[in-house]
Structure 1
């Protein structure tokens, strides 16, 4: 057996396929590698480095390989070591920047570098208090994420509002100007404490390299050759740092897959990858298309997902070519409701395990963390051990633990005067939960989904045991909690699609393949819809041998089945069958024609274009058509909403979303019946706000109307 140190340059190239060999055999000069899922990109770039060292083009200590996770950096170092190459720096952006910051701070600034905040929450909480706001923990997590986005996008408090407006950012419970003030207050808090955050590590390193040419030259003398993995996930700040490291040289190889860009909400953009040949004229382009992970049947579906109606590839994605032997066709299954879907998944997994399939080679993927409760419950009921990837177990989440405590306390005083689901909703209302879903995503939405899952649990219990009361629900919850904490050596992996990126399993169950989940209902506009499509693509390409896709017609048992299959599967009906069509072909005399009308998408009343997002459907108008409502009425309604939300200490969208206010302003209802017919105005909101809304529409002063209602009970 040849020792790694004895590998020649030719030995290293001989281990590669033709496209990987093309990457490795040209170690000098700029190169962009468009690497499809499962095509061996890490193998290609580590062999490129190893070949460069063996051929004498590189000194190992002069190479900096950058990636996005410590796990990926560790894997790169291991592979290089196996190839007999030591001394190459393989680090994350933050790790490399932090090392330089500590080294150069005494020279550039003097003294030791500032301490880094372990968590943003305390500083964010103090900043929230300074600007006179009140927020819960979930909202503050979303605020911290918004601060991070502003910093990696190279924005200041002054430039944030305009940029955030263009990006359609929606910080929880405030307008963009207020968010800018909060960002400024957060920076003041850090300055007074003498600390920096994670993003500051990059910002300060950029500042030193920009202001101190001598230090920048020292870095450039140290690192002559660069490799950047997952380049589609680079944000503006990381690109600025990379440009400063590189200087005017061209020895850089970037590797990425535009089809796996799923972190745009954090500031990542594939444009640096797609425009690399513009910024580096003469750069070589190599496409890795040979997929070694999945069967031809799975890849056929994956390729369909990224193929437009006219046959063009979406967003610069490569078309994958299978290298494995044939396997079973992917299957699409529709169930009546979420618990039925979860039970079906658990049943199929039980059969797979009985056939000898290892638990660790099975994964169940979903779009939102709130979907995991039903899946966890079904797997527990079936005695199937499981592990939750990228998040806490459902009953370990803070909001769920708090809710269970409240329900346990309320169980002592349950007098049977309300139905079980209504009682649970009332109890959770004490935590700020509302029946209407928040318009924003992030931690606020995840918290709502978790609490909604508990309400749904009570609905299911009442359906199976009509006499059940709150003590019965608490006992059921205790049993579920105990079952999920049972020790397990290995288990089925439960993961969100975001957490699943970079992983793979023999068998994958991709659940929730319906509009509203894939794409998620908060996705607004073509770019966000396309990112949701890429999320489904990531899920599909995690499977090696077996792929099951599923969706349910309704959320809870007995509810009306209003969902439709994900529009992303339309192109795959030739693989998955006619059930994959979100707009089924009408069949005259068909027994199933009764449901066709509700499954057809709504269209813009202005131009007839299909409305693809919840906001568009609520307003009945696409983004390209001008408003048909009276803008003065809309602004009065917004003013009223702001006063009401502040008085109730809830985000504005909890009262009414902008889309609902637009619909109200357009309809100008004259009474409660007309108001109730508007999408987004449910029975509870009708009770709470009907008189106020009608008064504002009638011309009353919005602030006076809201202030007159302050103090009235909500229920």
Structure 2
């Protein structure tokens, strides 16, 4: 097959030349049904975007008649960006909800009549009101759980009338018995009807209803879209699968891509059964397996394979739901073995992780290429404090959105204004972006120290770096106007550029991302697997979640856990059962057992320091910080300590922050003991990082000098 273009051979080489044999098989199989089983890091997005581009350039696909569907707005935006880079900007890439909402808005007047109801962004308020009407007491956490349960019911195509029969065995959402949940579900639906509002699940349900009941609308949609690509097919819910089949209308022009071992959203109604049963439901389907892992080192890939391979039988039901995993084959050079670090308490664990991150940054790993991943969002605070104490920048995934930051909004406004009068193209675009943003504080070199100034610079630098990347990818015709349009689209889908800072994220929110170095923290029973995962199929989902976490790492991977929650607390925590097969000498891999002696050096214990007075091992965070037992007499200057406390009180009052945010008591004690006379002497004390040194250093030295 040749490309219909003057530079056909060159363009074909550009689209297919960098693909391996399996990826090329995907890209050149332009007619469905096609099932792509793609392991983590095997280049699935590359394969399917190149397939779309190849199909468009060969004339097999009409760009406007192909719909690519994925599960997050960010993933859809990333796919659109890649397709633009491949010269096919007209192809639509959307989430299921976005595609359905667009169709619903278009067909509502003729299929139902009137205007489309208002879309309900958040269910919580309406659910809380429904509960109050029923005189049921629910707190915020209960409302959140009930909202999740209603979402599960609706994507499973259940109604309040048949919910009870299908929900048996799902526990007590929000602490309520299922009949009470069913009543809230019904009251919630009644409130929406009374107020003429719909939620996101209704978008799918109503679109399905219109396509089922109105043959003209169905025929119009099927005429519009002739080819479909569905990414992350293992996460499809029954409702989404029903909508997809209605779009197809019995046709076979469908390519699905997924990995059953990355099914981590079963609690939302997602099921890998559609992916696993695809060859059976489509007997003529071609199946391609992508198993060459280009992301991670052989050491990381080996652990990922071992984790899945070491799964014990969970009984007939769980075993029937467990898919045979893909055995990944690493393509990267060998590197360091993963580390397993046991710590005495949560504070020590966060400190060890922060120190190792500091060492990685010192060795040349960018902060943006490091991630700390945890099972629950509540685990982040300790690591935030540990990184802040060492002046290591970080970004909390799920925190303030990049495009909502003031400097980013201002930068986009100025770039939009500049684009109206600026005709630069290609590499000059990045220089123009840097010039425009310089009025907001951007410089070619980062500012010294941290704080708000550094954070503002990081945001602006991310915009400049993005302009450089896009200019390199899009070539000489790339314009400032196109860059502004790209920013606007990314803002709509929250597809943020990379910001220099360590990423703190939950394992669920890390899916689809990757970093050079990954720290999997809190790897103890009760957190991984989570305590409420009691059934074998629930533990299997936790295993898959950890698999997702492991496969986020390119080069460096560390597992950490603590034996106690608080310093000095009872050491009653046990390492996660999943680590049994992964740690040196583990029981899940004969190769690991046979090489236990060689690898044992990679299991590290966080060792407490010794008391500088009596030599006893220190066990608590405050003791480790000041370097002595709590029972040993301090060499502190009490007058200086009180002066420092008074200075801290005034600082905290002026800044309207708690006193410990300025300096903890342990740090003040250390300052009063050491009596530093210079900034250099103050900088080396525990708890005094670069940011605090810059902000408070001179004032602290002045207090010391006065005493």
Provide TM-score, normalisation by structure 1.
Answer: 0.66
Describe the shift of the 1:48–1:262 C-alpha distance in structure 2 as closer, same or farther (beyond 3 A): same
Describe the shift of the 1:569–1:215 C-alpha distance in structure 2 as closer, same or farther (beyond 3 A): same
Describe the shift of the 1:42–1:218 C-alpha distance in structure 2 as closer, same or farther (beyond 3 A): same
Q: Partner of 1:499: helix, strand, or coil?
A: coil
Equivalent in 378, 381, 386 of residue 378 of structure 1: 386
Q: CA deviation at 1:572?
A: 2.1
Q: CA deviation at 1:577?
A: 3.9
Q: CA deviation at 1:316?
A: 2.8
Q: CA deviation at 1:7?
A: 5.3
Partners of 2:6 and 2:94 lie apart in 1 by 26
Partners of 2:391 and 2:324 lie apart in 1 by 44
Q: CA deviation at 1:140?
A: 1.3
Equivalent in 569, 575, 578 of residue 568 of structure 1: 578
Equivalent in 24, 29, 34 of residue 32 of structure 2: 29
Equivalent in 362, 366, 370 of residue 362 of structure 1: 370
8 A Cα contact 1:7 1:84, kept in partner: no
Partners of 1:542 and 1:486 lie apart in 2 by 31
Partners of 2:232 and 2:530 lie apart in 1 by 24
Alignment of 1:692-711 (within 5 A): none
Task: Report the counterpart of residue 270 of structure 1 in structure 2.
Answer: 272
8 A Cα contact 1:33 1:255, kept in partner: yes
CA shift digits 1:435-461 (9 cap, x unpaired) = xxxxxxxxxxxxxxxxxxxxxxxxxxx
Task: Report the counterpart of residue 108 of structure 1 in structure 2.
Answer: 111
Equivalent in 530, 537, 549 of residue 540 of structure 2: 530
Q: Is 1:504 matched up with 2:514?
A: yes
Q: CA deviation at 1:69?
A: 1.2
8 A Cα contact 1:9 1:55, kept in partner: no
8 A Cα contact 1:332 1:580, kept in partner: no
Q: CA deviation at 1:15?
A: 2.5
Q: CA deviation at 1:62?
A: 1.2
Task: Report the counterpart of residue 622 of structure 2 in structure 1.
Answer: none
Task: Report the counterpart of residue 176 of structure 1 in structure 2.
Answer: 178
Q: CA deviation at 1:156?
A: 0.7
Task: Report the counterpart of residue 200 of structure 2 in structure 1.
Answer: 198
Equivalent in 238, 241, 249 of residue 239 of structure 1: 241
Q: CA deviation at 1:11?
A: 4.6
Q: Is 1:132 matched up with 2:140?
A: no
Q: CA deviation at 1:250?
A: 0.4
Q: CA deviation at 1:240?
A: 0.7
Describe the shift of the 1:579–1:280 C-alpha distance in structure 2 as closer, same or farther (beyond 3 A): closer
Task: Report the counterpart of residue 90 of structure 1 in structure 2.
Answer: 93
8 A Cα contact 1:152 1:235, kept in partner: yes
Q: CA deviation at 1:239?
A: 0.6
Describe the shift of the 1:310–1:513 C-alpha distance in structure 2 as closer, same or farther (beyond 3 A): closer
Q: Partner of 2:509: helix, strand, or coil?
A: helix
Describe the shift of the 1:115–1:4 C-alpha distance in structure 2 as closer, same or farther (beyond 3 A): farther
CA shift digits 1:190-244 (9 cap, x unpaired) = 0000111111111100000000011111101111110000111111111110010
Q: CA deviation at 1:143?
A: 1.6
Number of positions where the alignment pairs a residue of Structure 1 with one of Structure 2: 490
CA shift digits 1:576-627 (9 cap, x unpaired) = 345999xx99xxxxxxxxxxxxxxxxxxxxxxxxxxxxxxxxxxxxxxxxxx
Q: Partner of 1:99: helix, strand, or coil?
A: helix
8 A Cα contact 2:310 2:588, kept in partner: no
8 A Cα contact 2:49 2:79, kept in partner: yes
Task: Report the counterpart of residue 61 of structure 1 in structure 2.
Answer: 64
Q: CA deviation at 1:515?
A: 1.2
8 A Cα contact 1:306 1:314, kept in partner: no
Partners of 1:282 and 1:308 lie apart in 2 by 33
8 A Cα contact 1:510 1:539, kept in partner: yes
Equivalent in 327, 333, 350 of residue 358 of structure 2: 350
Q: Is 1:156 matched up with 2:159?
A: yes
Partners of 1:156 and 1:310 lie apart in 2 by 37
Task: Report the counterpart of residue 334 of structure 1 in structure 2.
Answer: 342
Task: Report the counterpart of residue 620 of structure 1 in structure 2.
Answer: none
Partners of 2:587 and 2:255 lie apart in 1 by 43
8 A Cα contact 2:156 2:269, kept in partner: yes
Task: Report the counterpart of residue 561 of structure 2 in structure 1.
Answer: 551
Alignment of 1:267-666 (within 5 A): 267-308=269-310, 315-391=323-399, 488=455, 489=458, 490-573=500-583, 576-577=584-585
Partners of 1:535 and 1:3 lie apart in 2 by 48
Partners of 1:6 and 1:101 lie apart in 2 by 42
Partners of 1:172 and 1:484 lie apart in 2 by 40
Q: CA deviation at 1:363?
A: 0.7
Q: CA deviation at 1:13?
A: 2.5
Q: Partner of 1:545: helix, strand, or coil?
A: strand
Task: Report the counterpart of residue 466 of structure 1 in structure 2.
Answer: none
Q: CA deviation at 1:485?
A: 7.5
Describe the shift of the 1:392–1:530 C-alpha distance in structure 2 as closer, same or farther (beyond 3 A): farther
Q: Partner of 1:285: helix, strand, or coil?
A: strand
Describe the shift of the 1:373–1:241 C-alpha distance in structure 2 as closer, same or farther (beyond 3 A): same
Q: CA deviation at 1:12?
A: 2.4
8 A Cα contact 1:308 1:314, kept in partner: no
CA shift digits 1:45-82 (9 cap, x unpaired) = 11111122222221111111001111111111121222
Q: Partner of 1:165: helix, strand, or coil?
A: coil
Partners of 1:127 and 1:161 lie apart in 2 by 18
8 A Cα contact 1:5 1:85, kept in partner: no
Partners of 1:79 and 1:356 lie apart in 2 by 29
- Superposed CA RMSD in Å reads 2.5
Partners of 2:240 and 2:156 lie apart in 1 by 9
Describe the shift of the 1:6–1:71 C-alpha distance in structure 2 as closer, same or farther (beyond 3 A): farther
